[in-house]
């Protein structure tokens, strides 16, 4: 059986990540694309070898060849698109963050649970070989008990007119592009924090959404984990784990880097390159085929936004 997948959104991430990842995945085929502009969608489909392009979501969801959708649209569209896909009986991979508000996430969750479709959150860094290696080293006790974690991560997108900078299409900018990944990483590495604090700032453009944010997650009696993410500075991609027996330092470990550097207590570890999006799509397709929950769940998406919203509000 081949699972027919449609991507909702004809942006860069769809073209450079999702289309190639589906092509690498056995048992999956990209069969359609949705764009708000029909001509743009048709051009995207022609370029990427996709059979059909739609500008109407209901028409796409009515296509029997579409078994599943990848929601890769601006954040503010996630809620309505996921709910519509769930009601149409389509399996769903939703790009991060899940939605713009906790209330929106809860409405999405209700629709997904009522439909019984497979839903997976797109926290692709869980399939990143460098971050997987750091987690393995940590869990093997190489640095003892972790007491402090720190991330500095940028997604340089210094255009306040792009959709992440606009309140109509997103509620976060730096946190949407980068920070949501780090919140998920800390939950993946350490479990649930007891509380979160911090601040969101817009020092350059005065944007409605955050240009730079700092969060601190508290794990009482265990560790403190902090993150700073930015959309207004060009470089930054580092994770530090400090334990009572040493440290693991990861340079250039988030996203899709060509070269990653992992150092544990002064020893370098070679990391084989991997396609984290192919890993993500492979897990999504396997979960559908096997009738099981994926490794990144609906609850992971909801909890992520709960933490982000607690700091924002």
How confident is the model at residue 3, as a pLDDT?
Answer: 98
CA distances from 272 to 152, 171, 261, 275 (A): 23, 36, 10, 10
Query: Environment class of residue 268 by beta-carbon count within 10 Å: exposed (0-12), middle (13-18) or buried (19+)?
Result: exposed
Beta bridge partners of 146: 243
Checking DSSP bridges between strand 28-34 and strand 52-54, what pairing results, if any?
parallel
Distant-in-sequence, close-in-space partners of 14: CB < 8 Å, separation ≥ 6: 7, 33, 44, 70, 72
Beta bridge partners of 196: 217
How confident is the model at residue 158, as a pLDDT?
Answer: 82
- Phi and psi (nearest 5°) for 135? -65, -40
Checking DSSP bridges between strand 237-243 and strand 146-154, what pairing results, if any?
antiparallel
CA distances from 218 to 22, 35, 198, 200, 213 (A): 38, 41, 11, 18, 17
Rounded to an integer, what distance in angstroms lies between the CA atom of residue 7 and that of residue 14? 7
State the CB neighbour count (10 A cutoff) for residue 199: 12
Tell me the pLDDT of the chain (313 aa) as tens digits.
899 999 999 999 999 999 999 999 999 999 999 999 999 999 999 999 999 999 999 999 999 999 999 999 999 999 999 999 999 999 999 999 999 999 999 999 999 999 999 999 999 999 999 999 999 999 999 999 999 999 999 999 889 999 999 999 999 999 999 999 999 999 999 999 999 999 999 999 999 999 999 999 999 999 999 999 999 999 999 999 999 999 999 999 999 877 899 999 999 998 988 899 999 999 999 999 999 999 999 999 999 999 999 999 8
How confident is the model at residue 276, as a pLDDT?
Answer: 96
Beta bridge partners of 130: none
Rounded to an integer, what distance in angstroms lies between the CA atom of residue 154 and that of residue 171? 18
DSSP label of 165:
G
- Mark 48-77 as b/e (b = at least 16 C-beta within 10 Å): bebebbbbebeebbebeebbbbbbbbbbbb
How confident is the model at residue 261, as a pLDDT?
Answer: 93
How confident is the model at residue 1, as a pLDDT?
Answer: 84
CA angle (248, 252, 254) in 5-degree steps: 90
* pTM, 2 dp: 0.97
CA angle (44, 175, 80) in 5-degree steps: 55
């Amino acid at each position: 059986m081949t699972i027919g997948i449609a991507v909702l959104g004809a942006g860069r991430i769809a073209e450079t990540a999702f289309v190639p990842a589906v092509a690498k995945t056995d048992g999956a085929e990209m069969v359609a694309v949705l764009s708000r502009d029909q001509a743009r969608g048709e051009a995207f489909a022609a370029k990427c070898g996709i059979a059909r392009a739609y500008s109407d979501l209901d028409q796409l969801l009515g296509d029997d060849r579409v078994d599943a959708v990848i929601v890769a649209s601006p954040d503010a569209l996630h809620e309505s698109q996921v709910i519509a896909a769930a009601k149409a009986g389509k399996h769903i991979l939703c790009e991060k963050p899940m939605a713009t508000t906790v209330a929106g996430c809860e409405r999405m969750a209700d629709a997904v649970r009522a439909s019984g479709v497979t839903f997976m959150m797109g926290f692709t860094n869980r399939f990143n070989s460098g971050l997987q290696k750091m987690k393995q080293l940590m869990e093997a006790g190489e640095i003892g008990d972790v007491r402090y974690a720190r991330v500095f991560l940028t997604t340089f997108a210094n255009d306040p007119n792009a959709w992440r900078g606009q309140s109509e299409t997103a509620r976060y900018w730096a946190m949407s592009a980068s920070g949501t990944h780090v919140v998920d990483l800390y939950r993946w590495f350490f479990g649930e924090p007891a509380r979160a604090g911090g601040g969101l700032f817009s020092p350059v453009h005065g944007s409605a959404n955050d240009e730079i944010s700092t969060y601190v997650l508290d794990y009482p009696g265990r560790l403190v984990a902090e993150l700073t993410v930015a959309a207004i500075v060009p470089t930054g991609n580092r994770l530090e784990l400090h334990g009572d027996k040493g440290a693991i330092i990861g340079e250039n470990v988030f996203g899709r880097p060509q070269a990653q550097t992992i150092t544990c207590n002064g020893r370098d570890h070679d990391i084989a390159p991997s396609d984290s999006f192919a890993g993500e799509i492979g897990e999504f397709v396997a979960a559908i085929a096997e009738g099981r929950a994926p490794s990144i769940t609906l609850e992971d998406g909801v909890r992520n936004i709960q933490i982000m919203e607690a700091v924002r509000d």
